[in-house]
Copies of this chain bind each other. A is one copy, B any other.
Amino acid sequence: MEEVVHTEKKKRTGKRKIEIKPIINKTSKQVTFSKRRTGLFKKASELGLLCGSEIAIITFSGAGKLFSFGHPTADAVIHRYINQSNCINVENSNDDNGNYNENNFGQLSEQYKKVLSNIEVEKRKADVAPSSSSSNGGLGFWWDQPIDNLGVFELEQLKNSLEGFRDEICSRIGSSLFDDIDFGN
């Protein structure tokens, strides 16, 4: 039987304490990102499952690669987040620096109301307005054009575009928030 006396080159394996500061080494940064992201997503799924809560995580790696997790889906949760502006349930949380994050979607419906109200005011200023027509060659942006220069067809386009734009936005946002915005009827 042999006794080997190790002249203490302590084979320090196992987890060690680390400081929470930027990892310089690119490879170990990637490894850590991968491991911790996996752990984070697992915990998020447990939270959703245990507590019946909806949750979405969006993260971009240092290299700009996107990873997302969602329960039930990331998009569903994000849509709910974007559309909850007019609800009271707005809570912020602090980040690693102890700073608070703000949800700045909160005042949107107010802004819309203001815009619509301004339109109402403008409306009252006018009684009857003259109109003229002409075909527009298609130079510049429509909002830089004198409105008088727009013919019926251009207006049709405007209308169609606006409808399309509005529908796209609504479906993109998955929102009913804009449904009551009618641009002055």
Contacts and interface: CB of A to CB of B under 8 A. Distances in A.
Interface of A: 20-23, 29, 32-33, 36-37, 39-41, 43-62, 64-75, 77-78, 80-82, 84, 87, 89-93, 95-96, 101-105, 108, 111-112, 115-116, 119, 122-123, 126-133, 135-136, 138-143, 145, 147-148, 150-166, 168-169, 172, 178, 181-185
Copies in the complex: 2
B115 A101 contact: no
A66 B89 contact: yes
Given A68-B81, A145-B185, 8 more contacts: A23-B52, A51-B62, A58-B77, A75-B101, A75-B105, A119-B157, A119-B160, A162-B162
Given A55-B59, A138-B185, A73 B101 contact: yes
A64 B133 CA distance: 53
